[in-house]
Amino acid sequence: MEVILREDVSNLGHRGDVVKVAEGYGRNYLLPKNLAMEATPANKAVIEQMKAAAVRRSAKEKAEAEQLVTQLNAVALVFERRVGEHDHLFGSVTSSDIAQGLAAKGFEIDRRKVQLDEPLKSTGEFHIPVKLHREVTAHIAVTVKGEEVPAE
């Protein structure tokens, strides 16, 4: 049985691929879960149109992302946190904090696009990558400063 995948299926293929599967697997799993549709000539034509639309949409998104990169590369964020000995932060600066800082400057960026391996837990200056598109990444300068603690 030949099917056209509607979603990525592990160990089988990616969205839009035409694959041969066993009859039972196709009828009992892929089709009922709406992961695939039968590979008829009409469905193949629809998939080709969907692929062309996806390519156009991806090109448009990439152009918008490249335009945004030039603006984001000039952005510098400053965070103040309480510090203890050896400039170690009591809290941390997370990708969510960075996304909120960008929102305050007028950039709506999803926190999941901020490529922060682990939260920043020390003072200093960091260059954080923000993945705007599959092929486009911006770098933001983030400075973490120690907050002055009032003397008692």
- In CATH, what number is assigned to the domain containing residue 41? 3.40.5.10
Q: Looking at the structure, do residues 57 and 74 belong to the same domain, yes or no? A: no
- Which pLDDT score is estimated for 89? 83
Contacts of 84 (CB under 8 A, 6+ apart): 90
Please state, in angstroms and rounded to a whole number, the distance separating the CA atoms of residues 42 and 133.
32
Residue 152 counted as domain residue:
no
**Number of domains, the chain:** 2
- Which pLDDT score is estimated for 81? 87
Strands 76-81 and 136-146: parallel
Q: Tell which residue, 88, 108, 84, has the closest CA to residue 98.
A: 108
CB-based burial of residue 106 (10 Å sphere; 0-12 exposed, 13-18 middle, 19+ buried)?
Answer: exposed
* Segments forming the whole domain that contains residue 86: 69-146
- Which pLDDT score is estimated for 15? 79
Q: Looking at the structure, do residues 99 and 142 belong to the same domain, yes or no? A: yes
- Which pLDDT score is estimated for 24? 95
Q: What is the pTM of this model?
A: 0.64
Half-sphere exposure of 142 (CA within 13 A, CB side): 30
Q: Tell which residue, 101, 103, 85, 105, has the closest CA to residue 93.
A: 101
Q: Looking at the structure, do residues 24 and 76 belong to the same domain, yes or no? A: no
Q: Looking at the structure, do residues 32 and 91 belong to the same domain, yes or no? A: no
- Which pLDDT score is estimated for 59? 87
Tell me how crowded residue 140 is: count the other CB atoms within 10 A of its CB: 21
Q: Looking at the structure, do residues 73 and 140 belong to the same domain, yes or no? A: yes
Low-confidence ranges of the chain (pLDDT < 50): 151
Q: Looking at the structure, do residues 112 and 47 belong to the same domain, yes or no? A: no
Q: Looking at the structure, do residues 39 and 57 belong to the same domain, yes or no? A: yes
